[in-house]
Amino acid sequence: MPTRWKSGVAACVIALVAAVLQVGGAPVAAGTPTPCPDLYVVAIPGTWETSDTEPGTGMLAATVDRLPENVAVDYVAYAATAFPWEGEVYGRSKQEATDRARDMVAAAARACPATRIALLGYSQGAHAAGDLAAEIGAGSATAPAERIALVGLIADPRRSPADTLIGPAVPGAGAVGARPGGFAALGPRTYTFCVDGDLYCAMPDGDIAGRLAGLVVQMSNPDPADIGNYQRQAAALFGDALAAGGLGLAGEFDASAYEQRRKQIDDFLKSGAHQAYPSYVVDPAGATALTWLRQRLIEATNY
């Protein structure tokens, strides 16, 4: 038997079990092996990483490949386009990832009552996974919070300084702004990773234009239930803008500032900070972001 179920197989098995349950199949006798895994991992790749033919070639592969046999892994395929500080394309792409992941988690929770679930995401995928985790932690019907073994977010565009950061302290916050309620019941089991200089998760606090772009991204595909959050972010942004000089802030949006921002993003892309997580050491033992998260998944199978 392979040490990890291939992407897509787990979803098919869970769907099959759900169908049996829905038509009144006989209960499985105690001790009888079942198709349900001990741990089901939903992994959401980052921007430009998804592929229907090779879904496991991105950043998260080193974390979820060759896990124990009692772990099932599925990748979420979605558009995965655009940067978090851009507009409508990103907003719709991220929402597609969140919606698909939600369906997968809900199906697993229904079909396999004893299976624990883990949510992982990188970059735009971390944005989607984190939003879903926040929903579940707040009590959504997708799955009970106690069924979620852990949430791992690498380069989360909604990282908050209040989130549980694994690794060295990092200034700034996510480019899209923090989740207003955090992760609620899932807070103790949600871990975030961010390299200093990665603009996805470490936008400088004083970068008003960058934060404004992040707010515009959220408004590009608005969630009516989140209007209060948009208003709070806008109010905080306005207050910070006044504190930074009020009307003088217009200089952040002139031609010179545009050129400076273009260079900032160009330098960021060339720096490789967003791709540094395979070698980014996060603890004294030498674990990287990916190996640290992998070890937590293995431990979760022995819960």
Dist CA 208 CA 212 (whole Å): 6
The predicted-structure confidence for 145-196, as pLDDT tens digits, reads as follows 999 999 999 999 999 999 999 999 999 898 888 898 899 999 999 999 999 9
Whether pLDDT at 245 is above 60: no
More confident position, 247 or 279:
279
The string of DSSP letters for 90-143 reads HHHHHHHHHHHHHHHHHHHHHH-TT-EEEEEEETHHHHHHHHHHHHHHTT-TTS
Dig out the tokens for 124 from the structure: 């735009």
Quote the pLDDT of residue 85: 59
- Determine the average pLDDT of the residues in 199-216: 61
Minimal CA–CA distance to 13: which of 111, 155, 140? Answer: 111
Dist CA 108 CA 136 (whole Å): 14
Quote the pLDDT of residue 93: 85
Amino acid at 113: P
**Lowest-pLDDT range, 82-86, 101-105, 172-176?**
82-86
- Determine the average pLDDT of the residues in 46-59: 70
Q: In what order do the strands lie in the sheet with 116-122?
A: 71-75, 39-44, 116-122, 148-154, 190-193
More confident position, 268 or 284:
284
